[in-house]
Amino acid sequence: MDYSPKTSTLTHLECPECRREFDADVLQSICHRCNSPLLARYDLDAVSQYLTPGDVHTRPPGLWRWSEILPLRQLGCKVTLGEGDTPIFSLPRLGKYVGISNLFVKDESRNPTGTFKARGLSVAVSRALELGVNTFVIPTAGNAGAALAAYAARAGCRAHVFMPRQSDRSNQAEVRLAGANLVLVEGSISEAAIEARSAAAAHSDSDKQDINSNWFDMSTFKEPYRLEGKKTMGLEIAECFGWQLPDVIVYPTGGGTGLVGMWKAFGELFAMGWINERFPRMVAVQTEACPPIVRAFQENRDRVNIHQDAQTIANGLRVPEPFADRLILDTIYASQGYALAVSDEQIKQASKQLAQLEGILAAFEGAATLAALMLLRDQGRVKDKDKVLLMNTGSGLKTIL
Amino acid sequence: MDYSPKTSTLTHLECPECRREFDADVLQSICHRCNSPLLARYDLDAVSQYLTPGDVHTRPPGLWRWSEILPLRQLGCKVTLGEGDTPIFSLPRLGKYVGISNLFVKDESRNPTGTFKARGLSVAVSRALELGVNTFVIPTAGNAGAALAAYAARAGCRAHVFMPRQSDRSNQAEVRLAGANLVLVEGSISEAAIEARSAAAAHSDSDKQDINSNWFDMSTFKEPYRLEGKKTMGLEIAECFGWQLPDVIVYPTGGGTGLVGMWKAFGELFAMGWINERFPRMVAVQTEACPPIVRAFQENRDRVNIHQDAQTIANGLRVPEPFADRLILDTIYASQGYALAVSDEQIKQASKQLAQLEGILAAFEGAATLAALMLLRDQGRVKDKDKVLLMNTGSGLKTIL
């Protein structure tokens, strides 16, 4: 098939469990048979024929540079606040302190609403609008709710945001300021999800199957396109490092969309012939209070056991039962990566070190990656000469007060 | 003279009042004879011979793309957190509401530390380091102190930050987290400046003239290079609009570095032949609580009277006596611009409108530009067809709690 430049080459959606294909041009949620997320697939052969790294590089900045491998058919429909193309830079002083000569950070705090959640919501809101949605519902640990509220406002849509009462107050204030409907919930994102589903069901049109046509569910991995937005982090990493990926990427893992998304991006770039087979080891960091992925990894399982909910200062890591557990664990195993937990005390200490040695005001989730790196270095799992990239997923401004 | 690409073409510093030239390769502060800021001058003829817009466009993102017209001699000495290249995007829903068909925002909240102050401090800290400084002192309304603390930490330098006790608590927390010395002061930035000077004098080496060689004074316009960092906003605006400047730029004016900086940028680009003579009308927005520039403009003066200090929610606009008043007023007059004040109530309302109509979480200073635009539109000073750019100078996250 022939595509004109900047046109999406989206072909279909696929269940990674049963490999069944789904029509990408109607609203979809998950593979109900496998209870699995769906993955967007593209005509990568075609893309590799006519698109070059130079083409993408010279387009106006932002994640929509990658439109051939994003799902939006009509690029004019994009809902953008200028997300993506966050900087990657070296951390020489911190590297010396930790004992890593080539240490880098990707600073996702520089997205709209101050977190990497903007990427997923920009793409998912855009694509849902293209498919006819105008009301959204989301359960969230906090940041994704603030991002959805912003993009829904930008698009002139309604958003219903279900958030734990103990989430960061900044996120609650952002949702309210953007005019979205904020529902505070006792418990974690798991309880928020139950309440969100129940409210959505009460508002859905019973004539239509699967989809809450009135309140469209934007939960992590419950629709296919937040993942596509998050994968652009991986595309930018590959480009920024001159198409030679780093040795290790350390990522704070709650719902895991970023981890799975980066891995998906690397696979697509490899299929397009833009990178070689040297993929990074993907390290998932969680907190001691809520480590379901770490537990599963330690026991070599491919599913999590639901974890007893507990408090942590890193609210984005308070995800007791990530829906995409299989994809997250697959990524860690396939990359010969690792999973480990850090304490709130270690996170606070790392947050200070980032600020005092490098001037970076990191989210607690981002600081957790530094805390984890120090453990990995002590354990010899990461070596001095490894090129290591920390993912700072958000701004410390969200929690500094 | 021949220059290699990416090399600064800085030739000298100049007093805009007496036109005297100053050596740019030693530490300088102000023209003491005229009590005026000094302006950096470049060999723009040479630059226009060998540099093209395409060269600058294809370099790695960030303000250091413009190194030929920035003051740093050794680009390897730059102290960067990936500042600059913030997005400009259109505001269709808000434009319809206000009655401006071509309304845009430049979202400076996307800089390190969440404000446009990062630009000035990145360049000024870098250049001061190159000239031998390792300890800084700054009086600040808040945001500049947080930015200096971050860049000083990044460089491994000491920073002493003098800030009003009533400044935003987020800025105070940022300075502390980055390990700088925070001194809280009763009053406004004017009182902070008095205390900072006094402390700096106590620590300066009396053998050296003019410069606090031990505590280098980074006050707005008291050294020449924060202005150079801020001017990169103007360079990016010109590039982003395809070298056709907008008709009106609305800018929240405290110390005025951004306003003067953008104007300086346009002049330099014109001298290089990259833009034509259609410069924007520059509109300075202040608050009713502290409008020294507005008062001077109304009375057609070229100097401000010191304004009785008063509280406002827009702390960055609480500058009772801007040191660069002549340059600010010159810019407004030369551009056939305007100056007007808005109330805190109007700012709060505009902040809601930015969030609810466009998903933008603006600083109160940024929201003030929208409040001002509504007044200008009502007064007929800005027309429907004018291409108007609002400068959102910072993130609403700094004050949302």
Q: What is the pLDDT along chain A (401 residues), one digit of tens a residue?
A: 788 889 999 999 999 999 999 999 999 999 999 999 999 999 999 999 999 999 999 999 999 999 999 999 999 999 999 999 999 999 999 999 999 999 999 999 999 999 999 999 999 999 999 999 999 999 999 999 999 999 999 999 999 999 999 999 999 999 999 999 999 999 999 999 999 999 999 987 655 554 445 899 999 999 999 999 999 999 999 999 999 999 999 999 999 999 999 999 999 999 999 999 999 999 999 999 999 999 999 999 999 998 777 899 999 999 999 999 999 999 999 999 999 999 999 999 999 999 999 999 999 999 999 999 999 999 999 999 999 999 999 999 999 99
CA distance, residue A343 to nearest chain B CA (Å): 19
Contact B70, B8 (CB under 8 A): yes
CB contact under 8 A, B153 and A177: no
Task: Report whether pLDDT(B212) > 50.
Answer: no
Asked whether the ipTM of the predicted complex exceeds the cut of 0.95, the reply is yes
CA distance, residue A102 to nearest chain B CA (Å): 16
Q: H/E element holding B153?
A: helix B143-155
Q: How far apart are CA B174 and CA A286, in angstroms?
A: 25
Q: Which residues pair with A217 in a beta bridge?
A: A137
CB contact under 8 A, B359 and A401: no
Residues of chain A positioned with their CB less than 8 A from the CB of B170: 397, 400-401
Instruction: Fill in the amino acid letter for A41.
Output: R
CB contact under 8 A, A153 and B355: yes
Confidence band, pLDDT 50/70/90 cuts, at residue B337 = very high
Instruction: Fill in the amino acid letter for B134.
Output: N
Of A61, A154, A351, the CB nearest to B358: A154
CB contact under 8 A, B356 and A169: no
Q: H/E element holding A249?
A: strand A248-252
CB contact under 8 A, A400 and B174: yes
CB contact under 8 A, B359 and A173: no
pLDDT digits (tens, 9 = 90+) for B38-89: 999 999 999 999 999 999 999 999 999 999 999 999 999 999 999 999 999 9
Q: Please state the rounded mean pLDDT for residues B341-355.
A: 98
* Chain A: residue whose CA lies nearest to B55: A58
Of A61, A360, A401, the CB nearest to B61: A61
How much is the mean pLDDT over chain B? 96
**Sign of the torsion angle spanned by Cα atoms B301, B304, B308, B314:** positive
CB contact under 8 A, A177 and B397: no
* Chain A: residue whose CA lies nearest to B181: A356
Q: Output the DSSP codes for B312-323.
A: -S-GGG--SS-T
Residues of chain B positioned with their CB less than 8 A from the CB of A178: 355-356, 359, 361
CB contact under 8 A, B87 and A169: no
Of A61, A170, A178, the CB nearest to B355: A178
Q: Which residues pair with A316 in a beta bridge?
A: none
Of A57, A177, A361, the CB nearest to B150: A361
In a mutational test of the B interface, the residue from A81, A240, A399 whose CB has the highest number of chain B CBs within 10 Å is A81
- pTM listed for this prediction: 0.97
* Chain A: residue whose CA lies nearest to B112: A110
Q: How many CB pairs below 8 A link A and B?
A: 148
Residues of chain B positioned with their CB less than 8 A from the CB of A119: none
Confidence band, pLDDT 50/70/90 cuts, at residue B306 = confident
In a mutational test of the B interface, the residue from A117, A357, A361 whose CB has the highest number of chain B CBs within 10 Å is A361
Helix axis angle for B257-271 and B226-240, nearest 10°, is 60
State the pLDDT at residue A324.
98
pLDDT digits (tens, 9 = 90+) for B310-334: 899 999 999 999 999 999 999 999 9
* Chain B: residue whose CA lies nearest to A148: B359
Contact A363, A393 (CB under 8 A): yes
CB contact under 8 A, A395 and B397: yes
pLDDT digits (tens, 9 = 90+) for B94-124: 999 999 999 999 999 999 999 999 999 999 9
Q: H/E element holding A88?
A: strand A88-90
Q: How far apart are CA A364 and CA B87, in angstroms?
A: 26
Percent of chain B with pLDDT over 90: 95
Percent of chain B with pLDDT over 70: 98
CB contact under 8 A, A110 and B111: yes
B76 CB neighbour count, 10 Å cutoff: 6
CB contact under 8 A, A351 and B173: no
* Chain A: residue whose CA lies nearest to B401: A170
Six token digits for residue A188? 């974690």
CB contact under 8 A, B174 and A352: no
Report how far apart, in Å, the C-alpha atoms of A233 and of each of A138, A228, B308 are. 22, 10, 49
pLDDT digits (tens, 9 = 90+) for B257-283: 999 999 999 999 999 999 999 999 999
CA distance, residue B207 to nearest chain A CA (Å): 32
Residues of chain B positioned with their CB less than 8 A from the CB of A398: 397
Residues of chain A positioned with their CB less than 8 A from the CB of B154: 93, 358-359
Of B114, B179, B396, the CB nearest to A355: B179
